[in-house]
Amino acid sequence: MATTGAELLMQAISPHGNLPLVRRLEAVGFRAWPAASVVYDGSWQVRLTGGHPSKRLNCLVPLDPSDHRDVDLRIEKARKRFEHYGRPLLVRETPLSPKPLLDRLAGQGWRPFETVNVMVADLAGLELPDTLGHLPSHDIGRYIDASLAVHGEDASLKPALAEILSAIKPVSGLFIAENPGEGPVAVALCVQDADLAGILSFAVAADRRRQGAGTEMLTAALRWARISGARTAWLQVHDDNVAALSLYGRFGFRQAYQYRYWRQETGV
C-alpha cells in the first residue's frame, strides 16, 4: 500500500520513521538530479559530473550507518577519482552516514561548511486553485535559458544542464514565468517519481522577489504534480534561506531531515 502524504509528513517529525523516509527521499533525489557518473564502493555512492560544479552532482554520499570499514583507504580511493575529474573531494553527510566515518573526517581536519533542509508536504491537504497558472514546457533549451538568467549563472553551463535534464527518467515539468519584454521572472523544475514530486531549481529573478511570483510559480508546479498523481511534494533548501523557508512553510512543508557537506581544510 502506498504511503500517503500525511503519513510521510508524520514520519518526517517522528524519530522512529526517519531513516526509511531518508532512504526514500535520497533515492528519488538521485533520480531527479542525476549525476553523469555514479559508482559504488560498498554502500558509499560516488557522484561526479565533469561539466557542472553542483555539489549534489559531485560528492561522496555514504548510505548505510553500519558501513564504515577501511575508511582511510576508501576516502583516498574516492579522492583520486575526484582528482581525475579536477574536483576536490566533498562528503555529503545525511542521517545515513556512519558516525565512525564522520569522527574520522573531523580528526583529519575535515569540517562541515553547508547545511541543507530536505522538506516534505502533503499535497492532498493543500488548498490549490482548480486551474494551472502556468503550464509546464517541454522545451529544454528555452527552460535552460530562462533558468540561467533567473539564477544569474554563466551561459557556459547550458550544455551540462541540457545533459542533466535529458537524463532525468521520471516524468518532469519545466515551469517558466515570463513577462512580455521583461524576460523570465521565475522558474521551477518539478519531477514526479511515482507518488512523490520534487521541486528543484526553483528561483525568482532578484528584481521580482516579494511580489508574488514565487507563490504563483510554486502553486502551479504543485498543482501540476497533484493532477499528475503525486501525493507528497519534497524539496531542498539551504537552512539560512529565510525567505524561501517562510514561503515553503506557508505551503505546509516541514523538515524531514538535514544534510551537510564536508571538505578538508587546507593546511591541515
Q: Tell me: pLDDT of 50 over 80.
A: yes
Length of the chain: 268
The reported pTM is 0.90
Can you give the residue ranges of every domain in the chain? Answer: 16-117+259-264, 125-230
What digits encode the pLDDT tens for the residues 88-101? 999 999 999 999 99
At 110 the pLDDT is: 98
Q: Domain 125-230: which topology?
A: Aminopeptidase (3.40.630)
The rounded mean pLDDT for the chain is 91
pLDDT grade for 131, boundaries at 50, 70 and 90: low
Radius of gyration for the alpha carbons in the chain, expressed in angstroms and rounded: 19
At 183 the pLDDT is: 85
Give Cα separations from 218 to 31, 109, 132, 134, 252 (angstroms).
21, 40, 11, 10, 12
